[in-house]
Amino acid sequence: MTPEPGIVDGHGPDATHPPGPDLRRLVDAVRLVTDQVVRTAAPPEVLARAAAAVEEAAALLEPQTPPWAPSVPALPFGDLQPHDYFPFSPMIGFYNPLAPPVLLEVDGVEVRGNATIGSAYEGPPGCVYGGVIAALFDELLGVANITSGVGAMTGTLTIKYRSPTPLLTPLTFAARTNSIEGRKVFTSGTLHAGDRLCAEADGIFIQVEQSRFVQHAQDHGARDPGARDPGSSSPGEAP
């Protein structure tokens, strides 16, 4: 099995045990359980049995879980497909159960996405939480920049919520890089439910050389070697 491109020395599997269908199956199972937990009407005895099963899974995985380390892209971004950029992203990662089930593809100069977002991401009744929408836009616009050959960090992100974004409804995203002025990259995106516009995003991103990402990851790992990820916060920071 060939290692998944895009991750070395990271918090995901290494070249010996790269991401693959078995990890994807586990991720999908955890995502399903998460959706069920926020909607369950199970009695206490069933909840106790389910908790024991999850605890058993955690105990099984613990000996095979190395200390956290920053993830570093292994290949130039231009050589990768959208989901390969961030395989463990909490927004689009195929191998992160926190990520909503978003499927991205490159369509000419645009990045397009499709998703049906479930109850674990509910904000207003029957609607996707606005913060989740903002985070998805942040990632999607970043992927659009990478697809255009521009590595950039978010400077500002403006979201305009045009209408409620419904849960359990096919949604479509689109994003593109519009212009570059010096180190600033201007990118925009839209979110629709059918023909209805739900939200728009405009971002200004700041170009950062790839070597700075790598150096930052190395410095971060050196400051905190062997650190355990507590599982409750997002690792990393802007270089």
Q: Which two tokens stand for residue 94?
A: 């195929």
Can you give the length of the chain in residues?
239
Model pLDDT for residues 112-131, shown as the tens digit of each residue: 999 999 999 999 999 999 99
Model pLDDT for residues 171-185, shown as the tens digit of each residue: 999 999 999 999 999
- Determine the Cα–Cα distance for residues 141 and 112; give it in Å rounded to an integer: 10
- Determine the Cα–Cα distance for residues 25 and 21; give it in Å rounded to an integer: 6
Tally the C-alpha atoms within 13 A of residue 113's C-alpha that lie toward its C-beta: 31
Sequence-separated (6 or more) residues with CB below 8 Å from residue 181:
none
pLDDT over 90 (residue 192) = yes
Name the band, by pLDDT with cuts 50, 70 and 90, for residue 109: confident
Q: For 44-134, list the strands marked E by DSSP.
A: 102-107, 110-115
Model pLDDT for residues 37-95, shown as the tens digit of each residue: 999 999 999 999 999 999 999 999 999 999 887 765 544 555 667 888 888 999 999 99
H-only helix segments in the chain = 21-37, 44-61, 82-85, 130-147, 210-223
Domain locations in the chain as residue ranges: 100-210
Q: What class has domain 100-210?
A: alpha beta
Sequence-separated (6 or more) residues with CB below 8 Å from residue 54:
33
Which amino acid is it at 121?
A: Y
Sequence-separated (6 or more) residues with CB below 8 Å from residue 155:
184, 203, 204, 205, 206
Q: What's the mean pLDDT when you consider all of the chain?
A: 84
pLDDT over 50 (residue 237) = no
CA-based angle 143:108:139, to the nearest 5?
A: 15
pTM higher than the cut 0.75:
yes
